[in-house]
Every structure is written in structure tokens, then in C-alpha cells.
Structure 1
Amino acid sequence: MDRAVPSDMVEQWMTHLRLQRTRARDIVWLIEGGATLHDGREGEPMTDATQRWLTEQKSVIAETDRLLALYESINLRDRTIGA
């Protein structure tokens, strides 16, 4: 079922995706620079969660890149059709 979505709403989604990717890249940069993340209880680290976070953030970056590429390919196609 096709439904029209207002372009300003789509742009808000794209802005959100770009922010998510930026945050994920920042976390990857921190971890690759030596930061560690731990699961804990009452302020006490229990287990190292660094690798899990690194994997999750790299996945966020890859998925976001895929969605942004899809969005850009659709917009490029629409601009070519309208030209």
C-alpha cells in the first residue's frame, strides 16, 4: 500500500538517522581510543561490555549508512525523473 509521507517528516527521520550515526561513530572512536564500558550494579563494574558496545555501534553505523544510501538513491532518481 503506497502512502504519501510529507517530505519534512522524511527529512526529520533522515536528520535523526544522521545523529544516530554520529553518536555511534563517537562511541566507536572512544572505544578504539581505549575507553571501556562495563555492566555493573550500584556503581561497581561487573562485566566488561566494551566489545558488545563496539559491535552494536558498528552495526548501527552500517545499517544507518544503508538506509541513507537508499534514501539518497531514491532522491537522486526522483531528481533525474523530474529534470
Structure 2
Amino acid sequence: MNSLYGYRTPQSLKNEKNWQFANKLWPKILLKYSLIILGIQLTTIVFFGYIISVFLTIILWIIILFLSIILTENKLKKIR
């Protein structure tokens, strides 16, 4: 476990198994949703312009960050 970087929540820091699981799962979730956001961003640039695309991307990233934490925490609870 590392206290300086990685996925650090009380649940992931409980033990080494949780730490390893969370730090393998969370980047996969972020990558999956990053690719989805990229597609949405490129589409909104074409149809609505750069400014709207930037604002939409910021909003989507905030949602995705919270969603990825919720999904990871739920999976951590299941591996107990």
C-alpha cells in the first residue's frame, strides 16, 4: 500500500487485497469512460463548437469521477 498515490479510500486501505484490487479496477473504469467522453467531446465540437464542448466535458468528467469511485467502492464491498 502507498499513502502518496493511487486509489486511496478507507475501504481500499483496509488491507493489501483491497488496495491491489482497487488500484487495478479504478484505472480500467476511468479508461472506459474516458473513451466514451472522447467520443462525446469530438461529436460536440463538430455540432456545437469548442466552448460548449469544453463545458460539457468538464461536467461529464465531474460525473465520471464520482461514478468511478462509487463503482469501485461497491465492488470493494463485494470482495469482503
More helix by share: 2
TM-score bracket, normalised by the shorter chain, equals 0.3 to 0.5
Question: Larger strand proportion, structure 1 or 2?
Answer: 1
TM-score when scaled to structure 2? 0.43
Which has the higher Rg, Structure 1 or Structure 2?
1
Q: Give the number of the structure with larger relative contact order, counting CA–CA contacts within 8 Å between residues 6 or more apart.
A: 2
